[in-house]
Amino acid sequence: MELYEAICKRTSVRKYKQEAVNKDILEKLVDAGRRAPSARAVEPWEFVIVNEKTVLEKLSAVAPNGSFMKDAAAVIAIFSHQTKYYLEDGCAAIQNILLAVADVGLGACWVAGDKKDYVVEVGNMLGVPQEIKLVGLIALGWPAEDKKQAKNRSLEDVIHWETFGNKK
């Protein structure tokens, strides 16, 4: 799949088939994440792959907007060491993973971390030292539905030439 095709195909998928995702694919997704750019080449990220149903259910229970995680084949938790640009770096890793997910034919949904009430609980649940920050969670699996990307705003609505407001 070409990169632009993966970008256009990527969408939030919250319904998954009850089918495992093999270790090689999960490692490929994390490899895509670790290849993201990071400020000053610090590469502050750490990734925890969860595919045990009992842990997926616990994650689902603590993250109100991630109740669908219990039905995912796996969740990749993206953590970052405390650096000046930890959030930007972690989000770049998340975007790489989401594009790789689309490329291999999986579906995924990004569940927020960083400023949520459950960050400490998730870190404790996954055995992560307290000084390492949760950036986000990615639930993933084989899509149970054919979902197309939908955008609310057109290119013409968001693009400006030379100055804000100049649409020509």
Alpha carbon distance 10, 166 (integer Å):
29
CATH (residue range 3-158): 3.40.109.10
45-66 pLDDT tens trace:
999 999 999 999 999 999 999 9
Q: How many residues does the chain have?
A: 168
1 pLDDT band (50/70/90 cuts)? confident
Asked if the model's pLDDT at residue 24 lies above 80, the reply is yes
Alpha carbon distance 154, 34 (integer Å):
31
DSSP string of 58-119, one letter each residue:
HHHHH-GGGGGGGGSSEEEEEEE-S-TTHHHHHHHHHHHHHHHHHHHT-EEEEEE-TTSTTH
96-121 pLDDT tens trace:
999 999 999 999 999 999 999 999 99
Alpha carbon distance 140, 163 (integer Å):
39
For residue 137, the 8-state DSSP code is E
Question: pTM for the whole thing?
Answer: 0.96
